[in-house]
Amino acid sequence: MNTTPLSSTARTSLGRYGKRAASDRSALYEILDAGMICHLGVVVNGSPRVIPTGYGRIDDTLYLHGSTGASSLSAAPAHEICVTVTHLDGLVLARAIFNHSINYRSALVFGTPRTVTGPDEKSAALRAVSERLAPGQWDAARPPTPKEMAATSVLALSLDEASVKVRQGPPGDDEDDYALDVWAGVVPVRQVLGAPEPDPRLRPGIPVPAHITGRRLDAPRGRP
């Protein structure tokens, strides 16, 4: 495990609200490991695109996956990209509209990715992506066939250059506005998992496995 502080570059150093930056690398890991979807920013044929996609992390490498036919993944290794993960934790309602905000945790990762070609790393990367979305499902379901592996592209992005920004707590109003008769506070935002809905073609007698019924988004999530 890399215990070095987060990078300090022109792109990762915060300008406004610098106090919201986190320098501890563990904060980056926690944000990435708590998410399921990232947004990949990449330039394709001179035009910027932001693509939501699944991801996984193994130590200090972030893995992104998609179809080999996806232009965003095929173009990425030739350019620098930016990957973001954001968690919305609360609506911050102030006494003045100007001071409304949100509580959040966000991570940005910059770099030039590489295409994963080695079969062992590719399999480990896809397992990490699968376990990020549905922990325990990789061992429960049929593994990918060689044909399916060939149809899947995997990018590896180093976490060497990354930044973390967090805002938590109550609203910050102007001193004169604290006397206003306006409610102020935080409305928490939480993501929850609903009851599993079986496939209409599921054969009778197959129960929902424990790794699905026992999962909670607010439970600690370890790395695969």
- Is the predicted pLDDT of residue 14 greater than 50, yes or no? yes
Strands 152-158 and 61-67, sheet pairing: antiparallel
What is the helix (H) or strand (E) element at residue 55, kind and residue range?
strand 47-58
Please give the pLDDT value at position 187: 98
Q: Which residues contact 77 (CB under 8 A, 6 or more apart)?
A: 112, 113, 114, 115, 155
The pLDDT of residue 164 is: 92
Radius of gyration of the chain (CA): 20
User: How high does pLDDT run on average in the chain?
Assistant: 88
Q: What is the mean pLDDT of residues 77-104?
A: 94
Distance, CA of 88 to CA of 189 (rounded, Å): 7
Percent of the chain whose pLDDT exceeds 90: 70
| Residue 98 DSSP SS3 | helix
For residue 99, pLDDT beyond 90:
yes
What's the average model confidence in pLDDT over 56-73? 87
> 29-47, pLDDT tens digit by residue?
999 999 999 999 998 888 8
Position 2 scores a pLDDT of 53
Distance, CA of 92 to CA of 172 (rounded, Å) = 9
Place of tokens 């999530």: 221
Please tell me the chain's helix, strand, coil percentages from 3-state DSSP, rounded to the nearest 5: 25, 35, 40
Residue that is written with structure tokens 């030739």 in the block = 78
Q: What's the Cα-to-Cα distance from 53 to each of 28, 30, 66, rounded to whole Å?
A: 18, 18, 8
Task: Give 64's strand partners.
Answer: 55, 155
At 202-221, the pLDDT tens digits run 999 999 999 998 876 554 33
CATH architecture of 18-213: Roll (2.30)
The model carries a pTM of 0.86
Q: What is the distance between the alpha carbons of residues 71 and 37, in angstroms, rounded to a whole number?
A: 19
Q: Which residues contact 120 (CB under 8 A, 6 or more apart)?
A: none
Q: What letter would DSSP give residue 74?
A: H
Give the whole-angstrom CA distance, residue 98 versus residue 189: 21
pLDDT of residue 219: 46
Question: Residue 96 in contact with residue 174, Cβ under 8 Å?
Answer: yes
Q: Residue 56 region, left (φ>0) first, then alpha (ψ -120 to 50), else beta?
A: beta
For the chain, domain boundaries: 18-213
User: Rounded to whole angstroms, how far apart are CA atoms 25 and 7?
Assistant: 9
